[in-house]
Amino acid sequence: MLFVVDVGNTNITYGVYDGDKLVTTFRMMSKVQHTSDEYGISMLEMLHANNVVADDLEGCIIASVVPNVMHSLIGGIVRYLNVDPMIVGAGIKTGIKIVTENPKEIGPDRIVDAVGAFEKYGGPILVLDFGTATTYDLITEKGEFTAGITAPGLRISAKALWEDTAKLPEVEIKKPKSILAQETISSMQAGLVYGQIGQTEYIINQVRKESGYENMKVVATGGLGRIISEETDLIQVYDSTLTLEGLRLIYLKNVK
């Protein structure tokens, strides 16, 4: 079995693959600091709760955008799961050629998404990840990572609303019944969700226009991606496990 780990700015998402089948997934917060023992024990408990025997894990791969958790996380994996993790970074084989001005600036999470999307759906393809930030990455038909757009995520925008304004409350991020809001909560929800839909559709259309890829595929992932994907015909596929699948594919490209 393969243990895949996606360390994001908000959550750490774990997945277990048996061959090409995703057996289970689970999460923990990445913003809270833990020791290697705390990581290790938590992972053992979550694996056990999901009917996975830690001794059955034969490999591990990690993509992380949060450097300060890596020392403890890797220590917990090595000590408690008894596997040496592969880290997505410089020198690792991905099958994707990065042709931006500074390839080293492209985060491992975006590379992993690109691999997953290109291998599963082909190119040209625009990959949307609705995470802490909302990212839009363009992969050509040759598997070249050629452009990327980064915007504030839905949660960042929502947090700015209720933290930087004295009278606006914290609200659930969901689509209200109508954009014609008549009270504060639905007013904020309308602005957040419909604003994100509008941004998403404009960026997709502009990428099509400037790249010339009028028939490119558009695939979305990320925690809040389903909300937006259901509200626009410009996104063809919502794939909640795209990042984990990208990790699995990269591991296979590098394991001897």
CA distance 238 to 39: 30
Residue 217 CB neighbour total at 10 angstroms: 19
- Select from 130, 156, 129, 139 the least CA-distant residue to 211: 139
Residue-level pLDDT at 212? 96
Instruction: List, for the chain, all residue ranges whose pLDDT scores fall below the cut of 70.
Output: 256
Do the beta carbons of residue 185 and residue 169 sit within 8 Å?
yes
CATH of domain 97-240: 3.30.420.40
Backbone angles phi, psi at 214, to 5 degrees: -65, -30
Do the beta carbons of residue 130 and residue 228 sit within 8 Å?
yes
Residue-level pLDDT at 167? 82
| Catalytic residue from among 37, 56, 84, 109 | 109
- Select from 115, 109, 164 the least CA-distant residue to 134: 109
Residue-level pLDDT at 132? 86
Residue-level pLDDT at 223? 84
* Same fold yes or no, 2-87 and 97-240: yes
Q: Which residue is it, tokens 């040209």?
A: 124
Q: For this structure, is 109 an active site residue?
A: yes
Residue-level pLDDT at 256? 67
Q: Parse the chain into domains and list their residue ranges.
A: 2-87, 97-240
What is the model's pTM? Answer: 0.92
Class for the domain spanning 2-87: alpha beta
Contacts of 19 (CB under 8 A, 6+ apart): none
Do the beta carbons of residue 216 and residue 126 sit within 8 Å?
yes
Residue-level pLDDT at 33? 85
